[in-house]
Amino acid sequence: MTQAPAITRRTDRRHDREIIALALPAFGSLVAEPLFVMADSAVIGHLGTPQLAGLGIAAALLTTAVSVFVFLAYATTAAVARRVGAGDLPAAIRQGMDGIWLALLIGAAVIATVLPTAPWLVEAFGASSTAAPYATTYLRISALGIPAMLVVLAATGVLRGLQDTRTPLYVAIGGFSVNAALNIGLVYGAGLGIAGSAWGTVIAQCGMAAVYLAVVVRGARRHGASLRPDAAGIRASAQAGVPLLVRTLSLRAVLMIATAVAARLGDAEVAAHQIVLTLWSLLAFALDAIAIAGQAIIGRYLGAGDRDGAKAACRRMVQWGIAAGLVLGVLVALARPLFIPLFTSDPAVEGPLLATLLVVAVTQPVSGIVFILDGVLMGAGDGPYLAWAMVVTLVLFAPAALAVPAFGGGLVALWGAMALMMAVRLLTLWLRTRSGRWIVTGASR
């Protein structure tokens, strides 16, 4: 009677060690990525307000262009992890190379689109006449680094699938350090202004991509995996990524609708909304780190044909998600009076901000489960369901959010709609996980 609980505890401890070993470095690399823009902002901010405004517009466009293709990391992680679980490392690395080749092709297409349309994109974003030239300069130069950033996404997926999240952390820290040094040297030392900041970022991004490629190529040679582009493999990687692209675009649409509605509520409300969204994104990094561990672990178990192991890992990670959500929620609730003065001293902003942060705090346990189950299904290669579920979520969220101004609601009501969005995601993901249909074993789904 006592043997089963003892076995369960040993299994949980093993999963805990795996989750911690993968999640902590993943969290570090996730947090390091936004530091690129922060370093650029800190350097360019001393050049003048038009330059900083131009950076803000260009950075928003570049971030969108790269984040839309985050499926290069997610789909590659799941595919590589499956083959690792099946014990076929050459095929795992070959799968990763297909993702990297796909990243290069997409990057080339993005450059071909952005370079000639940069002035129009900046104008469409509402740039002022003084900020637009700086935004266009930064956007055109930084676009040259997009292929490198997409390679970084795909190669990160390869290493995560190989159960290695430490190397991405080291590369991210190194890339941030080089970027900061180059920015200072090129902007002030060489007197290149905002163009120097853009070139510094491009050089750092290319350096990161080169390090990743060196690691992957070394692994390919060690295991006898081909490095040449394979049309069928690249096409398969693209097909696996399409559902995750739909999911990502739907999620981005949710965030854009929320910001548009906040803007209609008034200046104070949209200012408070941006602060809440910044904190919400930071909290998401912590939860996403556990989800990334889930992608790698679940993919490996399914590749090895271990259904029970995948179920046990899923159960334990959900427990981690709930615990992390509770801790983060309590921290947000308690730290609200300390957090708000860091961003604003305007009483008109403080009022809605204080109440809205409480909504964010209460919903963190739900967010914890959502992020984990999202990662589990990604690791299982269940992209089509994730795409369908996110589209349904968007369809239900949009009218609820758009109704907020019509019925005289404020920022709390808008974030109530955001809480509804997370609840819908929880329901759809829980139903899928409970059904067991995501459990498809084998080296490929």
Q: Which of 105-114, 231-240, 347-356 has the lowest mean pLDDT?
A: 347-356
Confidence of residue 1 (pLDDT cuts 50, 70, 90): very low
Q: Could you tell me which residues come within 8 angstroms of residue 300 by beta carbon, excluding any fewer than 6 positions away?
A: 81, 82, 84, 85, 163
User: What's the mean pLDDT in 9-27?
Assistant: 83
What confidence score (pLDDT) does residue 4 get? 57
| Residue 26 reports pLDDT greater than 80 | yes
Consecutive H or E run containing 200: helix 194-223
The pTM for the full model equals 0.88
Nearest CA-CA partner of 73 in 100, 37, 106: 100
Confidence of residue 36 (pLDDT cuts 50, 70, 90): low
Q: Which amino acid is at 103?
A: A
Which pLDDT tens digit goes with each residue over 259-312?
888 888 887 787 788 788 878 888 888 899 999 999 999 999 999 999 999 999
Query: Taking each helix axis from N to C terminus, what angle separates 89-124 and 49-67, rounded to the nearest 10 degrees?
Result: 140
What confidence score (pLDDT) does residue 32 get? 65
What confidence score (pLDDT) does residue 44 get? 81
- Compute the distance between CA of residue 206 and CA of residue 229 in angstroms, rounded to an integer: 20
